[in-house]
């Protein structure tokens, strides 16, 4: 609560200060132009009016920026929305209490999940992209299991929200309710402490869990969340820097300046860590990419398209396919399910020289864009590939991709896509589902409550 009021106060103070300065500048300019000394001139010169107009534009744009960064609008709306819902009491399934039947056979399958930054199926649409930007991923999707209709759900993006909601089966709306942005989540000492995740679930079944990303794990509280939700091994940019500063010193120095490693380094590190895992236990390994967030060309990406963003997207597709080929050649390859999923739709990136999504999606309606996904070597068959779902549905779908059977097909708010059951998005529709998720719910709050302290 206190954080919420501080944000509103700072925002109000900024606007007030800007208006005072604007008035002061206008008065000074008017006095200088008119020569009347301390008396304010009735008219304001042209350049004074121009400065005023520019100042107003800056104030308004700053307000939008602050709102986007700190979720002031959402905080205000949620803070005064006192209606208590029974939505979670009706639909939420506690993963710790769910009836889950392990697959037959003594040997459990491994699971590798690669979250592909900003990867969406629109990139494969030749009508909108002029040509397929992700031919390698398209081929993998055609040859394996890929679901259509993967939608960006409320409270389930950007990256951290997508990661968390796909692992615990509920969106990150709590941080909005108490006035904290997802980015500010890095300051949390606990992250959804009472929500049971896929990491904890698989750990219970004897899995060793591994997570790797090429950026700082402190951003958005990623390290806090994963370390407290079943991941024995957590590696971020600091670990990659220690690994590569000897034989790839120049690239490591550049990565420190950039505050991120290129994905090719992260893939190499990820492969090393997977290979080092004991062979006598099944593993759950997760990696997060980053190149396509910024859309800037990477050193080894081919220059096939006019923009850096298009080349980066194409290279991301290529690297994913190369990683999959590596997995298939490993001793554990035949016993491993590999999943590639986008975290969210591509946001606006780039500038004049690198227009990125500003050009890509200029005439593409948001509701016709969908997140990429593909399941390779899944241990179950899906009755239907044409679905409507969000990140919360990924949790039970990943579990059943290993051959586990979930009684009722639901974990958290998510529904397994390997079942014939409707997802909440299919059952309620987007408008009604989002309306319910915005309401305050005591059961949902109980998953997060220690965040307040």
Tokens found for residue 9: 């106060």
Q: What is the CA radius of gyration of the chain?
A: 25
Question: In degrees rounded to 5, what are phi and psi of residue 110?
Answer: -85, 160
Question: 44 in a domain, yes or no?
Answer: yes
Is 354 a domain residue? Answer: yes
CA distances from residue 68 to 65, 181, 190, 370, 445 in whole angstroms, order as listed: 5, 9, 24, 22, 23
Within-domain flag for 360: yes
61 with 197, same domain: the answer is: no
Q: Give this prediction's pTM.
A: 0.82
One domain, residues 57 and 101: no
Q: Are residues 224 and 316 in the same domain?
A: yes
Is residue 167 situated within a structural domain? Answer: yes
Write out pLDDT tens, residues 369-413. 999 999 999 999 999 999 999 999 999 999 999 999 999 999 999
pLDDT tens-digit readout, 281-309: 999 999 999 999 887 778 888 889 888 88
Please give the residue range of the domain that contains residue 385: 87-452
Number of domains observed in the structure of the chain: 2
* Residue matched to tokens 């690297």: 319
Q: Establish if 207 belongs to a structural domain.
A: yes
The predicted-structure confidence for 35-74, as pLDDT tens digits, reads as follows 544 444 445 555 555 656 666 666 666 565 555 544 445 5
The CA distance from 412 to 290, in Å, is: 27
Hey, which residues does 346 pair with through a beta bridge? none
* Domain boundary residue, one of 16, 44, 70: 70
pLDDT tens sequence across 308-320: 889 999 999 999 9
Provide the pLDDT for residue 67.
53
| Alpha helices for 144-248 (secondary structure H) | 159-168, 174-177, 198-204, 222-227, 237-244
Q: What count of residues does the chain have? A: 453
Dist. CA 424–CA 125, nearest whole Å:
27
The pLDDT of residue 449: 81
Of 12, 41, 70, at which residue does a domain stop?
70
Asked whether residue 413 is domain-assigned, the answer is: yes
Identify whether residues 172 and 258 lie together within a single domain.
Answer: yes
pLDDT, tens only, 164-219 = 999 999 999 876 555 554 544 445 678 899 999 999 999 999 999 999 999 999 88
For 433, the token pair is 């589902």
CA–centroid distance for 369 within its chain: 16
Q: Decide if 155 contacts 344 (C-beta within 8 A).
A: no
> Could you tell me if 31 and 128 lie in one domain?
no
- 29 neighbors 52 (Cβ within 8 angstroms): no
In Å, what is the CA distance from 85 to each residue of 65, 135, 236, 341, 435? 31, 45, 38, 31, 10
Mean pLDDT (whole number) for 157-167: 93
Mean pLDDT value across residues 265-274: 97
d(CA 166, CA 158): 12
Identify the pLDDT of residue 220. 82
Q: Are 46 and 406 in contact (CB under 8 A)?
A: no
DSSP 413: T
41 lies in the same domain as 127: no
In a domain, 208, yes or no: yes
Let me know if residue 324 belongs to a domain: yes
Residue 387 and residue 371: Cα distance in Å, rounded? 12
CA atoms within 13 A of residue 256's CA, in its CB half-sphere:
11
Question: What's phi and psi for 228, nearest 5 deg?
Answer: -100, 5
Please indicate, yes or no, whether residues 64 and 194 belong to a single structural domain of this protein: no
Q: Which pair of tokens denotes residue 65?
A: 């920026």
Same domain, 141 and 177: yes
How far apart are alpha carbons 255 and 315 in whole angstroms? 18
The model's confidence at residue 127, banded by pLDDT at 50, 70 and 90, is confident
In this structure, the answer to whether residues 37 and 91 fall within a common structural domain is: no
Same domain, 195 and 95: yes
Residue 11 shares a structural domain with residue 157? no
* Residue 24 and residue 171 in one domain: no
């Amino acid at each position: 609560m206190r954080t919420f009021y501080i944000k509103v106060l700072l925002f109000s103070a900024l606007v007030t200060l800007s208006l005072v300065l604007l008035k002061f500048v206008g008065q000074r300019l008017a006095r200088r132009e008119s020569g009347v000394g301390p008396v304010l001139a009735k008219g304001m010169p042209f350049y004074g009016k121009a400065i005023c107009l520019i100042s107003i534009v800056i104030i308004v744009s700053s307000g939008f920026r602050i709102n986007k960064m700190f979720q002031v609008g959402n905080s205000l709306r949620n803070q005064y929305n006192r209606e208590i819902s029974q939505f979670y009491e009706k639909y939420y399934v506690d993963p710790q209490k769910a009836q889950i039947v392990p697959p037959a056979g003594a040997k459990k399958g491994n699971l590798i999940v690669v979250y592909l930054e900003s990867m969406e199926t629109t990139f494969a649409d030749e009508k909108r992209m002029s040509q397929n930007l992700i031919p390698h991923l398209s081929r993998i999707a055609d040859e394996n299991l890929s679901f259509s209709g993967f939608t960006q759900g409320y409270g389930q993006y950007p990256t951290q929200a997508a990661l968390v909601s796909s692992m615990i089966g509920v969106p990150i709306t709590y941080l909005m309710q108490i006035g904290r942005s997802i980015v500010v989540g890095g300051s949390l000492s606990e992250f959804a402490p009472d929500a049971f995740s896929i990491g904890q679930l698989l750990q219970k079944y004897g899995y060793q869990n591994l997570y790797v990303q090429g950026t700082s794990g402190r951003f958005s509280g990623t390290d806090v969340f994963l370390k407290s939700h079943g991941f024995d091994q957590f590696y971020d940019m600091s670990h990659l820097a220690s690994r590569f500063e000897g034989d790839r010193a120049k690239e490591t120095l550049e990565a420190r300046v950039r505050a991120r490693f290129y994905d090719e380094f992260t893939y190499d590190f990820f492969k090393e860590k997977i290979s080092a895992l004991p062979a006598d236990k099944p593993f759950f390994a997760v990696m997060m990419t980053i190149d396509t967030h910024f859309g800037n060309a990477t050193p080894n990406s081919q220059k096939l398209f006019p923009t850096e963003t298009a080349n980066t997207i194409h290279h991301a597709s290529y690297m994913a396919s190369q990683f999959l080929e590596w997995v298939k050649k490993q001793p554990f390859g035949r016993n491993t399910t590999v999943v590639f999923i986008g975290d969210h739709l591509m946001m606006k990136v780039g500038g004049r020289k690198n227009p990125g999504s500003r050009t890509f999606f200029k005439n593409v309606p948001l509701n016709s864009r969908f997140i990429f996904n593909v399941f390779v070597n899944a241990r179950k068959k899906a009755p239907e590939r044409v679905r409507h779902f969000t990140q919360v549905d990924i949790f039970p779908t990943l579990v059943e991709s290993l051959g586990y059977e979930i009684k009722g097909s639901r974990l958290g708010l998510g529904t397994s896509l390997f079942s014939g059951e409707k997802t909440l998005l299919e059952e309620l529709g987007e408008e009604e589902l989002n309306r319910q998720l915005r309401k305050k719910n005591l059961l949902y709050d109980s998953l997060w409550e220690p965040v307040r302290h």
